[in-house]
Amino acid sequence: MYNNISGLLRLAQGKSIWQAVLQNEAKAFGRTEEEVFLELDKRFSVMEASAEKALEKSLETAGGLIEGVAKAQWSFALSSGGLCGDFINKLMARALSCSEVNASMGRICAFPTAGACGIIPAVLISIGEKLELPRRTVLEAMLAAAGIGAIIQKNATVSGAEGGCQAECGVAAAMAAAAAVQMAGGDPEKSMHALSFALINCMGLACDPIAGLVQVPCAQRNASQAVNALLSADMALAGMKCVIPADEVIEAMRRTGKMLPPQLKETAQGGIAATPAGKKLRDKIF
């Protein structure tokens, strides 16, 4: 059993993170490996569907704030690849698709939250495709991410109302970064460095949804934090080590969230939600 990242690393000595999480799951809930992976497969199927649904067809959303953004990004990826290349643009499109599905009241997997639902699916699907990994390997990465998310939830928060967007999209990026390292063949220690980099990269990120809707800037942050997850993974895979232990980074995120004023924690009273344009959009929608 483990309660923090250091405990997870101890349990993962000589094995992968997913194996340590599976061992913990078996002890805590009495689930067999087959049962765990069956549930993972069901949830990943939901992720796949939501990451694809808005790529070819725009979905109707309240106020239309992000209607068609995934389709536009996907088309851009296929036509030119953009400055970041087609891989990154496809990654962003998949994250945006999940956000668009969520905003249209479609079915998503809140992993770890609905507001951050596009980050982990986009990373898992895109890397699995790029590296031509079998589905089982992708599910193992998903299990590793789940174990890390549970630790962060236990010791900090994944709620934007409590800790700002750093606790939603930031935590999702951290989970995805650690999973990405595992998918690329990195060891558990590298995964934890990636986790730390991802959280540090968005430390203090406010939660300021326009009109209180989980659309803008939530969708764009799903796209940007999916990219954050990959660059954090690459830094760790290159051998860069975070000078602050992962558990201390998580605690710093928790404390930073406590310091944020209520206006920057999902109330739509600060940040871009409080701009003149943001207020006009709110009045128009409601």
Average pLDDT rounded to a whole number, residues 255-277? 98
The tokens describing 2, both together, are: 């483990």
Domains within the chain, CATH numbers bracketed: 5-285 (1.10.4100)
Which is nearest to 226 in space by CA: 190, 182, 177?
Answer: 177
Task: List residues bridging with 42 in a β-sheet.
Answer: none
The tokens describing 158, both together, are: 């994944």
What is the residue whose two structure tokens read 């710093």? Answer: 252
Taken in order 205, 195, 94, 72, is the CA torsion positive or negative? positive
Amino acid at 284: K
> pLDDT by residue (tens digit) across 94-122?
999 999 999 999 999 999 999 999 999 99
Contacts of the segment 276-279: beta carbons below 8 A, 24+ positions apart? 278/210, 278/211
Which is nearest to 85 in space by CA: 74, 93, 77, 94?
Answer: 77
pLDDT computed for residue 1 by the predictor: 80
Q: How far apart are CA 117 and CA 109, in angstroms?
A: 6
> pLDDT by residue (tens digit) across 117-127?
999 999 999 99
Contact partners, residue 38, CB within 8 Å, separation at least 6: none
> pLDDT by residue (tens digit) across 189-227?
999 999 999 999 999 999 999 999 999 999 999 999 999
Task: List residues bridging with 265 in a β-sheet.
Answer: 207
The pair phi, psi for residue 272, each rounded to 5°, is: -70, -20
In contact, 181 and 190? CB cutoff 8 Å = yes
The pair phi, psi for residue 232, each rounded to 5°, is: -65, -40
Output the average pLDDT for the chain: 97
pTM higher than 0.85 for the full model? yes
Give me the DSSP letters along 180-225.
HHHHTT--HHHHHHHHHHHHHHTTT--B--GGG-SSTTHHHHHHHH
Q: How far apart are CA 185 and CA 1, in angstroms?
A: 24
> pLDDT by residue (tens digit) across 52-91?
999 999 999 989 999 999 999 999 999 999 999 999 999 9
Q: How far apart are CA 53 and CA 49, in angstroms?
A: 6
Q: How far apart are CA 73 and CA 31, in angstroms?
A: 40
Decide if pLDDT at 154 tops 90.
yes
The tokens describing 226, both together, are: 């999916």
Q: For 67, how many CA atoms within 13 A lie in the half-sphere containing its CB?
A: 8
pLDDT computed for residue 231 by the predictor: 98
